[in-house]
Structure 1
Amino acid sequence: MNKTILKFGVLGGIIVSAFMCLVTYFMKQNPEQQPSMILGFTSMVFAFGTMIYGVFQIRKNNANQISFGAAFKAGFLMTVIISTIYVAVWLVIFYNFFPNFMEIYGDMMLKNAKPEDVAKVTEEVKWMKEVYQSPIGIIGMTYVEILPFGTVVALLNALVQNRMSSKS
């Protein structure tokens, strides 16, 4: 089970990080264009698809039986691995290749804000720039991008896998 968790967690982490590298490269080369959030979300769906398949493999290897708790634990551990790889890759990118990310991203947010939202967006950008002054802030903010979504997917997957094992 641990080998499966590690295998599919690392695979998911590679998938989501590869997409992040491509989007970051695009953003750095085209600072005036906003990258697609749909692409980022899609990369997370693909990454967490590996987690779903990993839990399925664990159930299959266990005589097609898995409890809700075991399925959630396996899925959540894969989610933590995927998210940690994502955060680590972002730290490497940010500190070594894109240290002015927050300035470009903040300018992009302000440029795309509706006139009535400029004051609110200005405050958000100011807050984000303050958070990005600390590695702990960057790590926390980056985990918040991916970990909650993965946790929800792990929870839903555990419900489905448990139901499927009950019907076998």
Structure 2
Amino acid sequence: MLKKILTYGAIAGLIAGAPMLALTAWADRIQPELGMVIGYLTMLIAFSTVFVAIKRWRDVEGGGVVRFWPALGMGLGIVALGSLIYAIAWEIALATAGSDFMAEYAAGVIAERKAQGASAAEIAALTAQMESFRAQYANPLFRFAITLTEILPVGLPVALVSAGLLRNPRFLPAR
């Protein structure tokens, strides 16, 4: 099982991380909303490897049967490794992009609130909040944890659903 977790987790991490590296390189040409949609879609595609790995394990090694908890454990292992690789890719992207991501993000959030007609007091409070977050985001451990909170909520339901569906031997049976 460990070999499958390492193999499929690495594949998931590369599928999720590689497009993010490309999006970071072309960040000035892509609208943030589109980049976010592309990012979350690639995460979902990346974690389809969880389903493939559990099904393959069930059909080949399990003789067509897998219990929920072992399948969930495998899925969570793949999600964890894929998420770590994704977070490492984000760190690489930040190091190579040469831009101050948090400054650009904060400026965008503040500009959006101004466009919505926020008062001067609200803008001042938001600016202080963004500056505080920017200082926290400069810490690599904090940034790494924040990056994991982007991808883990995508992978956890995929692991749960995959384990739940594939525990039924009549669901997509082996041929």
Q: What TM-score does the superposition give when structure 2 sets the normalisation length?
A: 0.83
User: Match of 2:26, SS?
Assistant: helix
Q: Identify if the C-alpha distance between structure 1 residues 167 and 84 changes in structure 2 by more than 3 Å, giving closer, same or farther.
A: closer
Partner of 1:74: 74
* Letter paired with 1:45: L
Do 2:44 and 2:154's aligned partners in 1 also have CA atoms closer than 8 Å? no
Residue 110 of structure 2: aligned partner? 110
Alignment of 1:118-129 (within 5 A): 119=123, 122=127, 125-129=130-134
1:161 aligns with 2:163: no
Percent identity for Structure 1 against Structure 2: 25
Report the Cα offset of residue 141 of structure 1: 0.3
Q: CA deviation at 1:165?
A: 6.0
Equivalent AA in structure 1 for residue 154 of structure 2: F
> What amino acid maps onto 2:8 in structure 1?
F
Alignment length (residue pairs):
166
1:3-52 per-position Cα deviation (integer Å, ceiling 9, x unaligned): 2211111111101001111221121x348x42512111101111011111
Secondary structure of residue in 2 paired with 1:163: coil
CA gap 1:56/1:103 in 2 versus in 1, 3 angstroms: same
Question: Measured at CA, do residues 163 and 122 of structure 1 come closer, stay the same or move farther in structure 2, by a change above 3 Å?
Answer: farther
Residue by residue over 1:39-93, the C-alpha shift from the partner in whole angstroms, topping out at 9 and shown as x without a partner, is: 1110111101111111111111210111110110000000001000001111122
Q: Which runs of 5+ in 1 are unaligned?
A: none
Q: Tell whether the 8 Å contact from 1:34 to 1:108 is kept in structure 2 after alignment.
A: no
Counterparts of 1:1-12 in structure 2, within 5 Å, are 1-12=1-12
The structure number with the bigger radius of gyration is 2
Provide structure 2 residue ranges, at least 5 long, that are not aligned to the other structure.
none
> RMSD of aligned C-alpha atoms?
2.4
* Structure 1 equivalent of residue 59 of structure 2: 60
8 Å contact 1:12–1:82 — kept in the other structure? yes
Question: Counterpart of 1:130?
Answer: 135
- In 2: Cα distance, 1:84 partner to 1:167 partner: 30
Greater alpha carbon shift after TM alignment, 79-88 vs 2-11? 2-11
Structure 2 letter corresponding to 1:115? G
